[in-house]
Structure 1
Amino acid sequence: MKFLNFKSIFFIATLSICFLIKNTASAQAIEKTSQGVHFTSQGMDIQIEFYTNNIVRVYKTPSGVPYNKKSLSVVKLPKSVKVKFDAKGEITLLESNTLQVQVNAESGGITFYDTSGKLLLKDKDYGTQFTPLDDAGTPSYTVKEGFLLEKNEAIYGVGQIMDNKFNRRNSSHAMQNENMSTYSPYFMSVKGYAVFWDNYSISKFNDNPQELSFEGLGHCSDYYFMYGKNADGVIAQVRDLTGKAPMLPLWAFGFFQSKERYHTQDESLNVVKKYRELKIPLDVVIQDWRYWPEYNKSDSLWNSQSFDKERFPNPKQWANEIHKLNAKLLIVTWPGFGPKTDQRKEFDSKKMIINFDTWPPKSGARPYDVYNPEALDIYWRYLNKGIFSFIGNDGWWLDSTEPDHIDRKDSDYLLPTHLGSYRSVKNAYSLMHNKGIAVNQRKTNEAKRAVILTRSGFIGQQLYGSNTWSGDVVSSWEMLQKQIPAALNYTLMGIPNWNSDIGGFFAGHWKKDGGNKNPEFQELYVRWMQFGTFCPMMRSHGTDLPREIWNFGDRGTWCFDAQEKAINLRYSLLPYIYSTSWDVSHNSGTFMRPLIMDFASDPKTHDIGNEYLFGSSILVAPVTQYKTRKWPVYLPEGSNWYNFWTNEYLTGGQTVSTETEVDKIPLYIKSGSILPFGPKVQYSTEKKWDNLEIRIYPGANGEFVLYEDENDNYNYEKNLYSTIRFKWNDASKTLTIENREGSFPGIIKFRKFRIAIASKNQIFDGTHFEIIKTVSYSGRLVIVKL
C-alpha cells in the first residue's frame, strides 16, 4: 500500500466549494463536495459521501496523513446523488431523498436521521481514536470507531457466533476468523439500518451502555451507513454495496453426502450406487482430503491437487461414472501446500507463501498469499489442470479458509502479505480465496455455475456463489441449538448461503452403546437432518461415525424412515426453494429469515433466534432436545398460521405447544401462502415440473412467483428464464395464474397445475393434500374460482 498526498487525491476527485461554519469555540472549514463534505476535526480529516440515496460512506484519517484505501469487499462506485446542503449554526445538514446526515464540525460527531427526522444512529462525538502503532515496520494505527445506540435497540449480525444468542446487544467479541468462528465488522439494527466498518484486521467488537465500538488495525476508519427501513431493505443495500448473490444450480439444493473421508474412487462411487438402489434422493457426493499421493506415508504432498494412482487410478472415469448416475461431484482443496508439491515450490520462489504452519500438523504445509492477484491465478492454474478441466468436477469444497494456524506464535501475525501484515488482513482470507476460484472458474467454463462450500466468510463473499458451513462442530444437542441463531446472524450480514454438518462433525463420544445405533445419537442426527432440510444447503458430513443412511438401520426402522422422510420433503419443496433462490439473486432476498425480518413490529420477535422463516412462507422451529415430543413455537403477530402436518389453524401472537413426533419437525405455514410441490424424484432434475401441486393456505391474500431456467450455466443473466406469478384473492377465493413471462431453451410449453387448498382444522398427514381442481396451462392467463 502507498501513502499519497491527500490534497492531490482530493482536489482531483472533486471540485470543492469552501464555506465556513462558526461556533463559540473556533471556526471549522467545511469543504462541500458534489455529494458530501470534507472537514478536519479532532485531529482527523473526515470525508462524508453519499454513495446512493441510502448509503453514506464516512472516511476518517489522522490529519495530514492521507491514505488511499482500496476495498476488498466493496464493489460499488458512487452513483450520482442529488444532495441538499444546509448550515444551522455549528451544524451542517446533508440530505438525500431518504436520509439526513448532521455533521458537527467541532466535535466530529455525525448523526443519521430518516427524512422525517427520526434518529437512526449517532457516530459518537470524540468517538474515533487513532493510536500510532508500528505494524511490522510500517507506521500504522490502532483504530477505534464508536457509536451511540438507543438503550433497548436490538442489533444483529457481527458474525456466526456459537453462544446461542441472537440479539448482539451488550456483548463483546474478539473478531478473528477461525474454525467455527466467522466474523465481519458489521451490525444491523431493528430500526432498519446497518453499519459495515470496512476493515479486515483482527479486531474487537464491544457493545456496552456507553457505546458500540469496533477496534482494529489500519490507516483509516472507513464505514458505510446503509438505510433500508427494514431488514430486507438493509440486505438489499449490503448486496448493492458489496455484490449480488448469483444463482446456484438446481442440483445444489438437493441432498449432499460426505464423510471424512472416502479413501478410494470406488468407495464414493458405490455410495452413489447404493442411494440409487435404495431409491433415496441424492444429488451430490463430496470427496474429502488425501485423495492425492501420500509421499512416504507423510503429508509432504499435502494438497497437490492430483490423484493417487493406486486409490484413484482413473479419476476422469470416476467422475464420469458419478455423472452417469445423475449425481454431481465436489472435490476438496486447501489453501496450504506441502513442501514437496509443485505449487509450494512455485509459490516459495515468488515469495507468495505466508510462512506459518497450517493443517495438517508437522507436515510443513503453509498457506499461499491470497492477497496477491497473481497468486490467485497460479492457484487456479494448478487446480484447473489437475482437477477441473481434467475430470470435470462440479464444485469445490474449500476447507480451512481461515486458514488453520498450527503452533501459532505472536510473530506469525507480523508476517508479510501482498497487502501488509497478516494480522492487518487476516479476516478477509476466505473472501479472497473464494474470489480467486469463482472468478477463474467462470473464465474457464461458463456452462457451470460456481458452487463453493467454504469454512469461513466475510461480507462480499456472497458475490462468489459461496456457501459457508459452520465448521467442525461437535455432535451434541447443545451445539445443534447453537447453530440456529449463529446461522441467522450470519445471513443478516447479507450472505445468504449457510449450512452445517448434519449430525455434527466430531461424533466419537457416541461410539459407546452402539455408535450409529445409539438411540440418542440417532435422534440427534434425525433432528439435525430436519434442520438441514430447511437450510440453503442440505449436507450430511462428519467423522468418527459414517453418515450414510443405511448405517443407521434398514428401511422400516424409525431412524431410517425419518431420514428418508426429511430428504423426500426437501425434494418435494425444490420448486419453492429454487424460486426462493431466484428471489435471493434477483431481489436480494434471504433464505433463512429471522422473525424480525417479517415481523419487526412484534417486539417478541426481537430476541427469538431459535426459529425462522425458510423463504417467505414456512416457519421452521427445529427441535434441539432429546426425547422431546412437544415443542413450544412462537407464532408471530401479524399473520395467522397453519400447522403443516395437521392443518390446525392458529392466530398469531401466541406460543403454542406443538406435537412433534421424532419424524416431524415443527412447521407452520403463513396464511395467504401459495406453495408449489414437485414430483417424487431420485435427483433434482429427474422429472420436469409439468404437473406441479399448488397448495393454497387461505386466510389472507398472497402471491408466489414460480421461477424456472436451464438449471445451470449463466444464461439467466441473459434473460433466459421464465416466471409465472400466482395470486390468491382470499375474499373471492380466486387463484389467478398470470401470463408466463420470459423463455429459455427447453421451457415447458404445456403443463398442468393440481390445485389444493388447506381446509382449516382438517386433521391430515401434511404430506398429502386433496386435489380439488386440475388446471391446464399453456402460458396464458388462467383464473380459477375455488
Structure 2
Amino acid sequence: MKLKHMYILFLLVFSLYNTSKGQSYKHTDLGIKTVINSTEIEIQFYGPSTVRILKFPEGDEFEKKSLSVIMQPQEEIFDIQEMGREITLKSKKISVVLNLKNGQVAFKTISGEPLLNEKAYVGKFTDFIDAGDTTYSVSQSYVLDENEAIYGLGILQRGKMSQRNQEVRMVQNNTEDYVPFFLSEKGYGVYWDNYSPTTFKDNSESTSFSSEVGDGIDYYFMYGGNSDGVIACMRNLTGQVPMFPLWTFGYWQSKERYKSQNEIVGVVKKYRELGVPLDGIIQDWQYWGNNYLWNAMEFLNPDFANPQKMVNDIHDLNAHIIISIWSSFGPMTKPYREMNPKGMLLDIGTWPQSGLTSWPPNKDYPSGVKPYDPYNPEARDIYWKYLNQGIFKLGMDGWWMDSTEPDHLDFRAQDMDNKTYLGSFRKVRNAYPLMTVGGVYEHQREVSSDKRVFILTRSAFAGQQRYGANTWSGDVSSSWESLRNQIPAGLNFSLCGIPYWNSDIGGFFAGAYNKNWNDGSGSKNPLYQELYVRWLQFGAFTPMMRSHGTDVPREIYQFGKEGEPIYDAIEKAIKLRYSLLPYIYGTAWDVTKNQSSFMRALVMDFNDENVKDLRNEYMFGKSILVAPIDSAQYTSEKVLKIDADTGWDKAEKEDTKSNTETNFRKPKSKNVYLPAGEEWYDFWTNETYLGGQNITATTTIDKIPLYIKAGSILPFGPKVKYAAEKKWDKLEIRIYEGANGEFTLYEDENDNYNYEKGMYSTITFNWNDAEKVLTINDREGNFPGMLKERTFGIVKVGKGKAAGDEVVMLFDKVVKYNGKKVLVKF
C-alpha cells in the first residue's frame, strides 16, 4: 500500500494519532476515523469526487455490504490539515472538514467554497427492536442555502420540480418509487444508503433523512460541479447503464389485457395493414389461468394454447413481444411449491387478494399469493429456472416485471418482521425492486449474449440503471392532473442517475371516460381523445413510447380512421418518433458511454434562474426542447383523483360524457419559456427566437411546442414500419446554425452485447458556425453488417428560413460518404 502525500509528517507505520486538544483520530488507507461524543466517525474517499461518511455508536461494530453501491473505494491521494478544532481532508476535487469538538462534517470545493454542512451534531441514534434484534433508528440532518434548489428522491406524484419544503415518507408503492438521493443546483449530490422505510424532510431549519432501521449512518457525498457531473458520480458509485436494443425505442402497444393469442397477434397484423409503425406488443397478466396459478410462468390459459406459435407469429411480423411477470406466486404454482418449504416466501398481503377474478375481491376465498424473497440468491435462481423453462426459451424478447415494489395490501404491523435472507423485511424493504430486477438481468446475461436484457418495471431503487430496466410510473389515473405530474416525476427520477423512464400513455385507470359513452369504450369520447393525444405526444419524447391502460382500448384504430384529426394526430406522433430514431439511438449511446441523460431538466443545461423550478418543459437529449401540452384546450378538463389500490372499482367513477361537439381542427396556443443564453428554432416552422423570454406558441391537435437549440445537428431516419426495417444508408442531417455544434451517430448490431467488445461504429459531425463548415469525421470502429457507403442529405436551417409544417426540406448538399473525413462548406 503506497503512503498518501500529506502535510502532517508524524505518520506511524500502521496508524496516526493526534492528541492535541484532547482529540484523537486515526489515519486509514481511505481517510480517517475518530470518536467524538461517543460516536465513531469514519470518512472514506471512494475517489477524488466521492466521499463516504460512516457513523455509529462507540463500541458497536458496523459492517455492511451495500446493495446499491458496487464501486470499490480507490486509493486516493489526499492531504490532511489541522487548524484549531477542525481537521480538513483534501482530494483533487473536494475538501471535507470535520469539527473535532461536535462531529459536524462540512463539504467544500477545493478552493474553499461551501457546498453542504451537516447540522451541528454527529447524527441521531434511537434504540429500536427490529424483529427481535437490537438496533437503531438513524437520522442525519443537513443545512442547505435558503433558496437552494434540489432534485431527485425518485418518482413522486406531487407535481414538484425542486424538492424543497416537503416531507416524504419513503416506502415503495405502486405509483411512487423512492431513491434516497438528492442533487443540488450547486453541483453536489447526497446518497443515503439505507433500505428501510425512510422519511425525507426539508423545512427552514434543516434537510434530513431518517430511517427506521440502521446499525449506523451511512451516506455518500459526491461533487460533480454540475448535474451531469453528479450523475456521473452516482453511476460510478452504483453502476453504469447498458445499451438498450434499437427496437425498444420504437412504439409499443399494450392494454389490460389481451385475452388470447389470436387477439394479441391480430393487433400487430392490424398495425401492419394500416402502415402505422409498431415495434412492440405486451401481454399482460392471466395468460397463466386462474389466480391460484398466479405468475406460474407457464401458459396454462387455454386461450394461449400454442405460445410458441404466438411468439413466432409476432416475430414473423417483425415485431417484438414482452410479457408480464410478477414478484409473487400463487399456491398452486411450481415456484411457490419449491420456495415455500425453504422459507423463501413473505407472509404479506399482496395482489390479487382473492382466488376468484370477480370484483371486488371475495376474501372468503383468499388467493394465497405471496411475494418471494429476492434477497436470497437461491430464490433468485429458482425464479429464473422457471422463467427460463416456461417463457424465455420460447424466444420472449423481454420482461414486464409488475409489482416489483411489491404490492403490500392489508398491512399488518408484523408484516415488516418477515425474515428475509438479509434480515427483516423492514431492514431491506425499499431495495426489493433492485434485487428482483437484478436477479432476472444477471441470470439472462449468464445464458445469452445474443439478446440484450430488456426489463419494464414498476419500481426502482438506487443502482437499478445497471440492470437494463426501464421504470414506468405505475397505475396512474387518466387525468390532466396526472399527466402534469408525470413530467417532473420523470425528470427527478432521471436526476437520480436512472435515465430510462416512461408512463402509461393515457393513464391507467380510464373508466371515467367510458361510463355511459356511446360505444362503451371511451375511445370516441372527446374528453379522453384530447387527453390521450397529448399524453402520447409527451410519450414520444420519453425513453420508451408505450401506450397502456384499462377501461379504454388504446390501439390507434379504436380512435377513428385515417383523415380524422385524432387518428391523424396519433399517427403523426408515432411517425415523428421513428424519424428521430438515429437521434434517439445516438442519445442512448451518449447515456451509456458518457453518462448522459435522456430527459434533461432545464436546470441541467441552462444557467437561468427562471428554469430552476420549471416543471413542464425539458430537453430530450441535448438538442430538443419539449413543452408538452398538459392542460385541456378543446374540452372541459376533469381532474380525477383515483387511488391506485381502488382504481378497479369502476362504480366509483364519474360520468365524463361530453354532449358538445368538439372542433379538433381549430388552432390553439400555449405559453412557452425559452431558456436564456441560446437561440431557438421552432421545430415546425424554423422561426427563430432569442432565449430568456416567454413566447406564445401556436398549437394544433397534432402539434406540441418543440424547439431546437441553435448549434444542433439532428439526423432523421427513413420512413419505416418498424425500427430496423431499413438501413440508415440515406439520412437527412439538419444543421441549426447560430452556434457551433456536434453530434455522434452511433450504430451497432441493434440487439446483442457485441458492442461491449468494441463492435460498433461512430460518425461524429461538427458544425463550425463562423466558417459555415460541416465536418463529417472519419468513421470509427466497425461491426458485422456495417454500411460501408451511404448518402447524407444536408439541410442548413438558417434564421428566417421557414420550412412550414409538413413541408419537406430541400437538401442544400448531398454527400456521398465512405467512412473518410468530408468537409461540407456553405
TM-score range, shorter chain: over 0.9
Q: Which residue of 2 aligns with 1:248?
A: 244
Q: Which residue of 2 aligns with 1:162?
A: 157
Q: SS in structure 1 opposite 2:252? A: strand
Q: Does 1:581 align with 2:584?
A: no
Return the letter of the residue paired with 1:634: Y
Alpha-carbon separation, structure 1, partners of 2:590 and 2:619: 14
- Residues 15 and 34 in structure 1, CA contact (< 8 A), matched pair in contact too: no
- Residues 94 and 100 in structure 1, CA contact (< 8 A), matched pair in contact too: yes
Q: What is the CA deviation profile of residues 339-385 of structure 1, one whole-angstrom value per residue up to 9, with x for unaligned ones?
A: 11111111111100011121111211000001111111110001000
Out of 366, 381, 385, the position equivalent to 1:381 is 385
Q: Which residue of 1 aligns with 2:204?
A: 209
Return the letter of the residue paired with 2:464: Q
Q: SS in structure 2 opposite 1:18? A: coil
Q: Which residue of 1 aligns with 2:369?
A: 365
Alpha-carbon separation, structure 2, partners of 1:344 and 1:764: 61
In the TM superposition, what is the alpha-carbon distance from 1:16 to its structure 2 partner?
Answer: 4.3
Q: Which residue of 1 aligns with 2:651?
A: none
TM-score, reference length from structure 1? 0.96
Out of 65, 69, 89, the position equivalent to 1:70 is 65
Alpha-carbon separation, structure 2, partners of 1:236 and 1:633: 30
Q: Does 1:704 align with 2:734?
A: no
Return the letter of the residue paired with 1:20: N
In the alignment, structure 2 segments of 5+ residues that lack a partner are 1-11, 355-366, 635-667
- Residues 16 and 31 in structure 1, CA contact (< 8 A), matched pair in contact too: no
In the TM superposition, what is the alpha-carbon distance from 1:762 to its structure 2 partner?
Answer: 3.2
In the alignment, structure 1 segments of 5+ residues that lack a partner are 1-13
Out of 552, 560, 564, the position equivalent to 1:545 is 552
In the TM superposition, what is the alpha-carbon distance from 1:309 to its structure 2 partner?
Answer: 5.2
In the TM superposition, what is the alpha-carbon distance from 1:649 to its structure 2 partner?
Answer: 0.2
In the TM superposition, what is the alpha-carbon distance from 1:259 to its structure 2 partner?
Answer: 0.3
User: Which has the higher mean CA deviation after the structures are superposed, 280-289 or 57-66?
Assistant: 57-66
Question: Residues 155 and 21 (structure 1 numbering): CA distance in 2 closer, same or farther, change over 3 Å?
Answer: farther
Q: What is the CA deviation profile of residues 369-404 of structure 1, one whole-angstrom value per residue up to 9, with x for unaligned ones?
A: 011111111100010001001x11000000001101
Out of 609, 613, 617, the position equivalent to 1:607 is 613
Out of 670, 689, 692, the position equivalent to 1:650 is 689
In the TM superposition, what is the alpha-carbon distance from 1:35 to its structure 2 partner?
Answer: 2.7
Q: Does 1:504 align with 2:507?
A: yes
Q: SS in structure 2 opposite 1:218? A: coil
- Residues 552 and 559 in structure 1, CA contact (< 8 A), matched pair in contact too: yes
Q: Which residue of 2 aligns with 1:351?
A: 343
In the TM superposition, what is the alpha-carbon distance from 1:184 to its structure 2 partner?
Answer: 1.1
Q: Which residue of 1 aligns with 2:632?
A: 626
In the TM superposition, what is the alpha-carbon distance from 1:406 to its structure 2 partner?
Answer: 2.1
Alpha-carbon separation, structure 2, partners of 1:659 and 1:21: 71
Alpha-carbon separation, structure 1, partners of 2:294 and 2:669: 48
Q: SS in structure 2 opposite 1:783? A: strand
Q: Which residue of 2 aligns with 1:782?
A: 822
Q: Does 1:291 align with 2:287?
A: yes
Q: Does 1:49 align with 2:56?
A: no
In the TM superposition, what is the alpha-carbon distance from 1:127 to its structure 2 partner?
Answer: 4.8
- Residues 39 and 122 in structure 2, CA contact (< 8 A), matched pair in contact too: no
In the TM superposition, what is the alpha-carbon distance from 1:657 to its structure 2 partner?
Answer: 1.0
In the TM superposition, what is the alpha-carbon distance from 1:411 to its structure 2 partner?
Answer: 1.2
In the TM superposition, what is the alpha-carbon distance from 1:149 to its structure 2 partner?
Answer: 0.9
- Residues 502 and 545 in structure 2, CA contact (< 8 A), matched pair in contact too: yes
Return the letter of the residue paired with 1:487: G
In the TM superposition, what is the alpha-carbon distance from 1:763 to its structure 2 partner?
Answer: 3.2
Alpha-carbon separation, structure 1, partners of 2:163 and 2:38: 32
Alpha-carbon separation, structure 2, partners of 1:518 and 1:125: 58
Question: Residues 376 and 93 (structure 1 numbering): CA distance in 2 closer, same or farther, change over 3 Å?
Answer: same
Return the letter of the residue paired with 2:195: Y
Query: Cα RMSD over matched residues?
Result: 1.1
Q: Which residue of 2 aligns with 1:590?
A: 597
Q: SS in structure 2 opposite 1:516? A: coil
Q: Does 1:19 align with 2:17?
A: yes
- Residues 507 and 549 in structure 2, CA contact (< 8 A), matched pair in contact too: yes
- Residues 630 and 658 in structure 1, CA contact (< 8 A), matched pair in contact too: yes
Out of 391, 394, 407, the position equivalent to 1:404 is 407
Q: SS in structure 2 opposite 1:300? A: helix
In the TM superposition, what is the alpha-carbon distance from 1:773 to its structure 2 partner?
Answer: 0.9
Please list, as runs of the form range in 1=range in 2, the aligned pairs for 1:70-219 lying within 5 A after superposition: 70-216=65-211, 217-219=213-215
Q: Does 1:737 align with 2:800?
A: no
- Residues 293 and 306 in structure 1, CA contact (< 8 A), matched pair in contact too: no
Q: SS in structure 2 opposite 1:272? A: helix
How many residue pairs get matched?
Answer: 764
In the TM superposition, what is the alpha-carbon distance from 1:731 to its structure 2 partner?
Answer: 0.8
Matched-pair identity in %: 53
Q: Which residue of 1 aligns with 2:5?
A: none
Return the letter of the residue paired with 1:191: K
- Residues 201 and 427 in structure 1, CA contact (< 8 A), matched pair in contact too: yes
Alpha-carbon separation, structure 1, partners of 2:603 and 2:400: 32
Alpha-carbon separation, structure 1, partners of 2:589 and 2:250: 16
- Residues 647 and 766 in structure 1, CA contact (< 8 A), matched pair in contact too: no
Q: Which residue of 1 aligns with 2:658?
A: none
Q: What is the CA deviation profile of residues 122-169 of structure 1, one whole-angstrom value per residue up to 9, with x for unaligned ones?
A: 122215100010001011111001111111111000121111110011
Q: Which residue of 2 aligns with 1:423?
A: 426
Q: What is the CA deviation profile of residues 617-644 of structure 1, one whole-angstrom value per residue up to 9, with x for unaligned ones?
A: 0000100111162111111112110010
Alpha-carbon separation, structure 2, partners of 1:278 and 1:531: 23
Alpha-carbon separation, structure 1, partners of 2:125 and 2:13: 28
Please list, as runs of the form range in 1=range in 2, the aligned pairs for 1:497-576 lying within 5 A after superposition: 497-512=500-515, 513-514=517-518, 515-576=522-583
In the TM superposition, what is the alpha-carbon distance from 1:21 to its structure 2 partner?
Answer: 5.0
- Residues 450 and 752 in structure 2, CA contact (< 8 A), matched pair in contact too: yes
Alpha-carbon separation, structure 1, partners of 2:322 and 2:621: 26
- Residues 602 and 619 in structure 2, CA contact (< 8 A), matched pair in contact too: yes
Q: What is the CA deviation profile of residues 518-549 of structure 1, one whole-angstrom value per residue up to 9, with x for unaligned ones?
A: 11210100000000000000000000011000
Q: What is the CA deviation profile of residues 428-481 of structure 1, one whole-angstrom value per residue up to 9, with x for unaligned ones?
A: 110000000000011111101110000010110000010000000110111000
- Residues 777 and 820 in structure 2, CA contact (< 8 A), matched pair in contact too: yes
Please list, as runs of the form range in 1=range in 2, the aligned pairs for 1:626-775 lying within 5 A after superposition: 626-627=632-633, 629-767=668-806, 768-775=808-815
In the TM superposition, what is the alpha-carbon distance from 1:603 to its structure 2 partner?
Answer: 1.1
Q: Which residue of 1 aligns with 2:267?
A: 271
Q: Which residue of 2 aligns with 1:458?
A: 461
- Residues 127 and 147 in structure 1, CA contact (< 8 A), matched pair in contact too: no
TM-score, reference length from structure 2? 0.92
